[in-house]
Amino acid sequence: MDGVFLTHSAEETRALAEKLASEAQAGDVVALHGDLGAGKTVFAGGFAKGLGVPYPEDVVSPTYTLLQVHEGGRLPLYHFDVYRLEDEEEAAEIGLDEYLFGSGVCLIEWPSRVEGLLPEAGRIDVRISRTAGGFDDREITIKKIQE
Ligand SMILES: Nc1ncnc2c1ncn2[C@@H]1O[C@H](COP(=O)(O)OP(=O)(O)O)[C@@H](O)[C@H]1O
Ligand SMILES: [Mg+2]
C-alpha cells in the first residue's frame, strides 16, 4: 500500500491505517515516524480497528509502559512507544526482539530510538507530518522496504 496520502482529520488518518491493517501479516513491523502530536497514536488506533481488536479506543499513548499488547483481533498487536527508552539495552530487556520476530504485528512510535534493532527488509515505514495547509492536515508516507 505504498504511497503518499493526505488526510484532513484524525478520522481520515484512522481510516487509512485501518486499510493498511487489513493487509497486515504476521511478523510485520510498522515504524511510525513523526513529531509529537503528528498522529502516530491516532494511526495506531485505526490500525487496531483494522485488525479487529475488540476495543480499539483503548489504544492510547503507551509512553509510560513502552508496550501495550492488544489481543482479540486477526493478529496480536504489539504497540510500542519507545520515546522514554534509555538505550537499546533497555529495549533488549523488555524483549523487543521476541515481539519483532514473533507472530503478531509490531507498531513502533519513535522508532529512531531503536533504529539498530529493527529489521530493515520487509519493514513498513510510515511518516506522518503536518503540512503547510490546515491545522488538521497531515501528509502520510507509507513505504515498505523491499526484502
Ligand atoms: N489528520 C489528522 N491525523 C491524525 N491526527 C490528527 C489529524 N488532525 C488532527 N489530529 C489530532 O492530532 C493529535 C494527534 O495526537 P497523537 O496521535 O497522540 O500524536 P502522536 O502519537 O504522534 O504524538 C490528536 O489530538 C488528533 O485528534
Ligand atoms: Mg503517541
- Cα of 92 vs its chain's centroid, Å: 19
Asked if residue 33 lies in contact with residue 123, where contact means CB atoms within 8 angstroms, the answer is no
Q: What percent of the chain has pLDDT over 90?
A: 79
pLDDT at 86: 86
pLDDT of amino acid 63: 61
129 C-beta closer than 6 A to ligand 1: no
What is the arithmetic mean of pLDDT over 64-91? 92
Q: What is the pLDDT, as a whole number, of residue 56?
A: 85
| The one-letter amino acid at 12 | E
* Residue 62, pLDDT above cutoff 80: no
State whether the beta carbon of 62 lies less than 6 angstroms from ligand 1.
Answer: no
Choose one of 13, 42, 141 to mutate for the ligand 1 pocket test, by most ligand atoms within 8 angstroms of C-beta.
Answer: 42
Higher pLDDT, 89 or 128: 128
Cβ(70)–Cβ(59) under 8 Å?
yes
Q: What is the 61 CA–ligand 2 centroid distance (Å)?
A: 5
pLDDT tier, 60 (very low <50, low <70, confident <90, very high otherwise):
confident
Ligand 2 centre and the CA of 80: distance in Å?
Answer: 9
From residue 66, alpha-carbon distances to 5, 45, 50, 57, 94 in Å are 28, 16, 22, 18, 9
Q: Identify the architecture of domain 3-144 in CATH.
A: 3-Layer(aba) Sandwich (3.40)
Q: Is the CB of 45 under 6 A from ligand 1?
A: no
Taking the CA of 83 as reference, the closest ligand is 2
Predicted TM-score (pTM) above 0.75 = yes
Q: Which residue has the cell 513523526?
A: 34
Q: What is the largest CA-CA distance in the chain?
A: 42
pLDDT at 101 over 70: yes
- Give the whole-angstrom CA distance, residue 129 versus residue 127: 7
